[in-house]
Amino acid sequence: MDDIINVITTSDSPEVLDNIGSTLLDARLISCIQIVGPIKSTYRWKGNIQRTEEWMGIMKTRRELYHHVQEEIRRLHPYETPQIEAFQVAEALPAYRQWVIKETKTT
Where in the chain are the domains?
4-103
DSSP state of 65: G
Is the pLDDT score of 1 beyond 70?
no
**Cis before 38 (ω within 30):** yes
Is the pLDDT score of 32 beyond 70?
yes
50: how many CB neighbours lie within 10 A of its CB?
Answer: 10
DSSP state of 63: G
- Output phi, psi for 64, to 5 deg: -65, -15
pLDDT in tens, 74-102: 999 999 999 999 999 999 999 999 999 99
Reply yes or no on domain 4-103 having CATH 3.40.50.850.
no
